[in-house]
Copies of this chain bind each other. A is one copy, B any other.
Amino acid sequence: MNLRENAIQILNSAIDAIKPDRLIKHKLRFEKGLLKIEDKQFDLDKYDRIYIIGAGKASAVMARELENLLGDRIFYGVISVKYGHGVACRKMRILEAGHPVLDENGIQATSQILQIAEDAGENDLVFCLLSGGGSALLEKPPPGISLMDLQRMFELLLSCGANIEEVNAVRKHLSLVKGGQLARTIYPATCVSLILSDVIGDPLESIASGPTAPDPATFQDAWQIIEKYKLSDAVPESIREYLVKGLQSKIPDTLKTGDEVFRKVNHFILGNNLGALKTAEDVAQELGYNTLVISSRIQGEAREIARVAAAIAQEIAQRDMPVKKPACILMGGETTVTLRGKGKGGRNQELALAALLAMSGEKHQYLIASCGTDGTDGPTDAAGGMIDPGIWTKANNMGMSPLKFLENNDAYTFLSQTGGLIMTGPTGTNVMDIIMMLIK
């Protein structure tokens, strides 16, 4: 068993399996007018018109594959995708826009998307293709709130210490499309949301800010968050006015669970981190490994998660617990890095480097890899990193101290010099990260 070759093969297969075109191809079955998705089916002959709308980095590729499947049954569509991520489609307009910062092109694309949602009638079907990046690529500010005000508000939220749920609660209340409001516009047409999840636990309300999902937060919640972080004096006047109107129930709130709109909404998570982990598990089993998927919800400081990964690998190396060697252990999710130094790296590379530190003195044959499924780890051209005894020896021979590179957050330099980088190039998809331990 060559751990490095196996690791690359497993990771590549896992990433391939969650590419947007593959997901559409494999999860949707279309025969004799019947479209089957998971345990549901839609009789496309029943509908007058079929529209496709969508937003997110992967949405254009999803749209093209859906077009390959449904062909001329599609009436029309508009997709908002990040600059450089557009692909040619016959029946749809693919519009490129700003990400991660919303720009005018995003607002223009959203207007066209909302026009379709508006046009669609009771006997129409609207496919809504959502993936990571959709929050910025799909936005319609309420009347009177400028793009600049919205950007300013977003900056305030990001720097005040609010957590992501709190940021989203406010954002959804400064939008006419997020928090189920796209679904409200699509109604009474039937909505089929096809979703590629880049959020831990796949919460529908969070992926792309949940344009077709119920929003747990209210205008009251949004305002309390602004007060909690003492932003009430700093928020742009237009935003304050709008939120006060919301508090006084003068404008409709985001959609809540139980709203009749959702009777006509169908959500399908086509791809997520767990899907990638399960493919990795299948491939590892074919290669002869005993496998265990521990969790697809891993969060935390990368260097600490590395220690857990090392603890598991070492226990298996020494005691064949909880599974026997050769073993492939998988975790997924998204770690974070608290920047301390000035080096180059990303959360996955940092995790790998920190795992090498735990290897010091260990003679067991194991490999630990951490890889972003989008192929881009931090501001680098690597997807992630992996370490094994070969890298440990190489670093030792070169007199390179893993600790020093880790302290400078310089995993890229360390791994590039020792052969520990994982390079995939941009993959066009994103279901967060895969952390893998191979033990032989």
Considering the chains assembled together, what is the distance between the CA atoms of A308 and B308 in angstroms? 8
Q: 0/1 per residue, A291-314, Cβ < 8 Å to B?
A: 011111111110011011011101
- Is the beta-carbon distance between B165 and A292 smaller than 8 angstroms? no
> Are A201 and B314 neighbours in the complex by a CB distance under 8 Å?
yes
CB distance from A255 to the nearest CB of B (A): 18
Q: How far is the CA of A274 from the CA of B300 in the complex (A)?
A: 25
Question: B307 near A300 (CB under 8 angstroms)?
Answer: yes
Q: A224 in the interface, Cβ–Cβ < 8 Å? A: no
Contacts of A297 in B (CB 8 A): 310-312, 314-315
Determine whether the beta carbon of A295 is less than 8 Å from that of B311. yes
- Contact between B295 and A315 (Cβ–Cβ < 8 Å)? yes
Q: How many residues of A contact B (CB 8 A)?
A: 30
- Report B-chain residues with C-beta under 8 Å of the C-beta of A301: 301, 304
Residues of B within 8 A of A322 (CB): 292-295
**B318 touching A201, Cβ below 8 Å:** yes
Chain B residues lying within 8 Å of A312, measured Cβ to Cβ, are: 294-295, 297
Contact A319/B274 with A305-B304, A308-B300, A312-B295 known, Cβ cut-off 8 Å: yes
Chain B residues with Cβ below 8 Å from A311 are 200, 295, 297-299, 333
Complex: A420 Cα to B129 Cα, angstroms = 45
A68-93 vs B: 1/0 string, CB under 8 Å?
00000000000000000000000000
For A310, the closest partner residue in chain B by CB is: B297
- State the CA gap A297–B319 with chains docked (Å): 11
Q: Are the CB atoms of A300 and B293 closer together than 8 Å?
A: no
Cβ distance A411 to chain B, nearest Cβ, rounded Å: 18
Judged by a CB distance under 8 angstroms, whether A34 is at the interface is no
Instruction: Give CA–CA (A418, B322) in the complex, Å.
Output: 34
Known: A201-B314, A201-B318, A318-B201. A298 touches B308 (CB 8 A): yes
Is A379 in the interface zone, CB < 8 Å from B?
no
| Residue of B whose beta carbon sits closest to that of A200 | B311
Q: Answer yes or no: A321 CB below 8 A from chain B CBs.
A: yes
CB contacts (< 8 Å) of A361 on chain B: these are 165
Q: Chain A 159-190 against B: per-residue CB contact (8 Å), 1 yes, 0 no? A: 00000010000000000000000000000000
Give bound CA distance, A333 to B358, whole Å: 14
Residue on B with the closest CB to A321?
A: B293
Instruction: Kindly state the separation between the CA atoms of A294 and B300 in the bound complex, as whole angstroms.
Output: 18
- For residue A298, give the distance in angstroms from its CB to the closest CB of chain B: 5
Q: Of A294, A319, A358, which is in contact with the most chain B CB atoms at under 10 Å from its CB?
A: A294
Contacts of A314 in B (CB 8 A): 201, 295, 297
Give the complex CA separation of A321 and B304 in angstroms.
23
Cα-based distance from A361 to B163 in the complex (angstroms): 13
Bound: A323/B301 CA distance, A: 26
Complex CA–CA separation, A304 to B305 (angstroms): 7
A201–B314 alpha-carbon span in the complex (Å): 9
Name the B residues within 8 Å of A295 (CB-CB).
308, 311-312, 314-315, 321-322
The verdict on A315 contacting B296 (CB below 8 Å), with A301-B304, A305-B304 known, is yes
Given known A318-B201, A319-B274, contact A299–B292 (CB-CB < 8 A): no
Between A and B, 20 residue pairs with Cβ closer than 8 Å are A165-B361, A200-B311, A201-B314, A274-B321, A293-B321, A294-B294, A294-B312, A294-B315, A294-B322, A295-B312, A295-B315, A297-B311, A297-B314, A297-B315, A298-B307, A298-B311, A299-B358, A300-B304, A301-B301, A311-B333
